[in-house]
Amino acid sequence: MMLEPRAAARTLLFRVAERVYGCDIDSVREIIPYRRATRLPGAPPYVQGLINLRGTIVTVLDLGMRLDPARAPVRDGSIIMATQGTRVVGVAVDEVMDVQSIVAESIDTRADVGPQGLVSGLGHLHDGVVVLVSIHVLVTQVLL
């Protein structure tokens, strides 16, 4: 008798401050080294500004500042390029770590986790807990 395989989500793991976060790898277009963005007047503090990525102007968000407004902005690390429809948005993080598969049964999706639906749950891996963020929610909040 064969057991049916459990569904697993491929998750990009990254670090912001001392916490490990993850997002669906299908949301990620590419990862680039951190670069300074041109600040937008009147933008919320977590919007770092704009960068030119091979001729495309991309808005860069600071995930750490979005989750904790008192945190210092990312000044080194990586920018995760995420797609939302035809738009590309960068998400600045301290370090991109790995891609792991997280089985659905090990994800805790209780309500009231994180600001305005940004955090979709907690994933449990053999070596700790990963805060799962919805890149689509983050991007939608900024683009509206």
Write out pLDDT tens, residues 31-80: 999 999 999 999 999 999 999 999 999 999 999 898 888 888 888 999 99
CATH architecture of the domain 8-143 equals Beta Barrel (2.40)
pLDDT at 116: 64
Q: Is 71 exposed, middle or buried (0-12, 13-18, 19+ CB in 10 A)?
A: middle
Whether the pLDDT of residue 121 is over 70: the answer is yes
Supply the pLDDT for residue 59. Answer: 93
Mean pLDDT of the chain: 85
pLDDT tier, 144 (very low <50, low <70, confident <90, very high otherwise): low
Q: Quick check: 128 pLDDT over 80? A: yes
Q: With a cut of 50, say whether residue 4 has pLDDT above it.
A: no
Query: For residue 122, with 0-12 CB atoms within 10 Å meaning exposed, 13-18 middle and 19 or more buried, which class applies?
Result: middle
Which percentage of the chain shows pLDDT scores above 90?
A: 42
Q: Does position 108 have pLDDT exceeding 50, yes or no?
A: yes
Which phi and psi angles does 11 have, rounded to 5°? Answer: -125, 130
Cα separation, 46 vs 62, in Å, equals 5
pLDDT grade for 110, boundaries at 50, 70 and 90? low
